[in-house]
Amino acid sequence: MNDRDIGKVVARLKDHLAQVTTPIVTFLAEARRGPFTILISTLLSLRTKDDVTAGATARLMARAATPEAMLRLTEAEIARLIFPVGFYRTKARTIRAVCRDLIDRFDSRVPDTLDELLSLKGVGRKTANLVLTLGFGKEGLCVDTHVHRISNRLGYVVTKTPEQTEFALRAKLPKRYWTDYNTLLVAFGQSVCHPVSPFCGRCTLAAFCDRVGVARSR
């Protein structure tokens, strides 16, 4: 992919987003659900399909919309509410730990800086950046498995891990695209650019894509 084509790629991804279901965390942000809901939903979304995340978030937030209310639930109660998200028992434990940290260290508020978010147990760079961009409208660049895979498949970056991809993108992706980049590539990855056998035959980015690592496609 020619680096100069990134504007055209983003424009086509925006057209595609208008035709598919918005990723759940972005949907919650557009519904102005607030940083705490964004944080919890992002934690639930790790290795979990969007429809499962949506249901789990709705059930859990109906019972506990604040850190204090969350701590009134036992770990087992949280686990039951969020099942069948991936690693639901571990996530239940993480959610309680995060809420305890929010109460003890941040006066029950979700912090709005990258370093403070990363200081929360169980919060990695993907979650922290997503909370910054979607929860607070601040500058951030969230890289998950879709962003990592597609950015490399296009040939826009050459990296081995999502963290490497984040820093490679920070060095070359124009900042005006940072906030939307995750949402656009998540939606595209869920519907077209699958990890195995992507739909290259109907891909709107085919003219720009180097198809790095694509052994089989449809």
CB proximity list for 74: less than 8 A, separation 6 or greater: none
Instruction: State the pTM of this model.
Output: 0.91
Tens of pLDDT along the chain (218 residues) come to: 999 999 999 999 999 999 999 999 999 999 989 999 999 999 999 989 999 999 999 999 999 999 999 999 999 999 999 999 999 999 999 999 999 999 999 999 999 999 999 999 889 999 999 999 999 999 999 999 999 999 999 999 999 999 999 999 999 999 999 999 999 999 999 999 999 999 999 999 999 999 999 999 99
pLDDT value, residue 70: 98
Report whether 154 contacts 200 (CB < 8 A): no
For domain 3-21+141-202, give the CATH number.
1.10.1670.10
pLDDT value, residue 32: 86
What is the residue extent of each domain of the chain?
Answer: 3-21+141-202, 24-135
How far, rounded to the nearest angstrom, does the alpha carbon of residue 160 sit from its chain's CA centroid? 19
At residue 14, the 3 state secondary structure works out as: helix
Fold of 24-135: Endonuclease III; domain 1 (1.10.340)
pLDDT value, residue 81: 98
